[in-house]
């Protein structure tokens, strides 16, 4: 389990954030999420796979890391794709180990021991 700030995320949720961060617009289709289970030794049953993905996405939405797009029935949501929120982009950067550059400007570029003209 990875920890982002105070939140703990499952391996599937980490995969969703990393894949969405790597996409050009920060969006991820449901079919790409299913590929997470290609590398797992024990794959869940197809009917369970849909439930597992839906719950993971719903929990990411509750943590305000992604926004889901799809259709809603009386009982549940059916997600077609998800998009990262600004908070989700920050969490994905932490998972990827990318350090954010600060927008600092150097006022005086004089080097000690070097004369300026």
Q: Residue 100 has what DSSP assignment?
A: P
On whether the CB atoms of residues 15 and 34 are closer than 8 A, the answer is no
The tens place of each residue's pLDDT in the chain, 117 residues long, gives: 444 554 689 999 999 999 999 888 889 998 999 999 888 888 899 889 988 998 999 999 999 999 999 998 888 778 899 999 999 998 988 888 877 677 777 666 666 666 655
Q: How far apart are CA 117 and CA 97, in angstroms?
A: 42
Q: Check residue 81 and give its pLDDT.
A: 92
Q: Check residue 6 and give its pLDDT.
A: 44
On whether the CB atoms of residues 26 and 17 are closer than 8 A, the answer is no
The full set of domains in the chain, from first to last, is 2-96 (1.10.10.10)
Q: Check residue 105 and give its pLDDT.
A: 72
Q: Check residue 3 and give its pLDDT.
A: 45
Q: Check residue 103 and give its pLDDT.
A: 74
Residues 6+ apart with CB under 8 A from 57: 16, 33, 66, 68, 79, 82
């Amino acid at each position: 389990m990875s920890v982002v700030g105070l939140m703990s995320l499952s391996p599937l949720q980490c995969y969703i954030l990393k894949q969405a961060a790597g996409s050009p617009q920060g969006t991820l289709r449901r079919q790409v999420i299913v590929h997470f289970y290609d590398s797992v030794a024990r794959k869940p049953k197809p009917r369970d796979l849909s439930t597992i993905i839906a719950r993971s996405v719903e929990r990411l939405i509750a943590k305000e890391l992604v926004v889901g797009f799809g259709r809603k029935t009386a009982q549940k949501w059916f997600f077609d794709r998800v998009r990262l929120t600004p908070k989700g982009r920050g969490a994905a950067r932490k998972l990827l180990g990318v350090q954010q550059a600060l927008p600092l400007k150097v006022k005086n570029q004089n080097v000690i021991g070097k004369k300026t003209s």
